Structure 1
Amino acid sequence: MDKLRTYLNSKTPEKQDEFARRCGTTLGYLRKAISAEQQFDVQLCINIEVESGGAVRCEDLRPRVTWAKLRGTAEAA
């Protein structure tokens, strides 16, 4: 969540609102979730990664999900 907080804080308030809308949510929700250390759903994680251009990755938001497997980048056992 720290990466998302840092990413948002690097933007103007207008750009923060725009980013949240592109992710399919509101800035208020993102800020509340960050402060409460709330878990984002998988689709929102994906949207945040895409809309941030990879600056905030899914792994930063939900580290317990095996994203490498979903991405097809997991090493074979």
Structure 2
Amino acid sequence: MAEKHPALIRAIDVIGTAGDLAAKIGITPQALSQWKQVPATRVLDVERITGIPRQELRPDIYGPQPALAQEPAA
């Protein structure tokens, strides 16, 4: 069985339990238990509920997280 994506595990941890996350996005815990990563159709919901950026949840769709602005080298 494939492991869950680390960002999905983090999203569950932020909310408390997989059942809590499922309830907040309006799906059954059984449906969420089948996820290996956040489905593309649910990324924005999970981002809104957990505060985890979409780039972390699905970098294959949204690309890597933007780098923080850095001071130019002197």
TM-score tier, shorter chain, comes to: 0.5 to 0.7
Matched ranges for 1:1-16 at <5 A: 1-9=5-13, 11=16, 13=17, 16=18
- Figure out how many residues of one structure are paired with residues of the other and give that number: 59
Q: State yes or no: 1:21 paired with 2:20.
A: no
Following TM superposition, by how much is the alpha carbon of 1:23 offset from its aligned partner in structure 2, in angstroms? 1.2
Q: Post-superposition shift, 1:45?
A: 0.4
Q: Which runs of 5+ in 1 are unaligned?
A: 68-77
Larger Rg: 2
Q: CA RMSD in A?
A: 2.7
Measured in 1, the distance between the counterparts of 2:27 and 2:34 equals 12
Higher relative contact order (CA 8 A, sep 6+): 1
Q: Secondary structure of the equivalent of 1:60?
A: helix
Compared with structure 1, are the counterparts of its residues 7 and 64 closer, same or farther at alpha carbon in structure 2 (3 Å cutoff)? closer
CA distance in 1 between partners of 2:56 and 2:28 (Å): 19
Alignment counterpart, residue 49 of structure 1, candidates 39, 47, 50: 47
Does structure 2 conserve the Cα–Cα contact (< 8 Å) formed by 1:40 and 1:61? Answer: no
**TM-score between the two structures when normalised by the length of structure 1:** 0.53
Deviations 1:26-72 (A, max 9, x none): 232223212xx5x6023x100001111x1x222223213247xxxxx
| Structure (1/2) with the larger helix percentage | 1
Gaps of 5+ in 2: 64-74
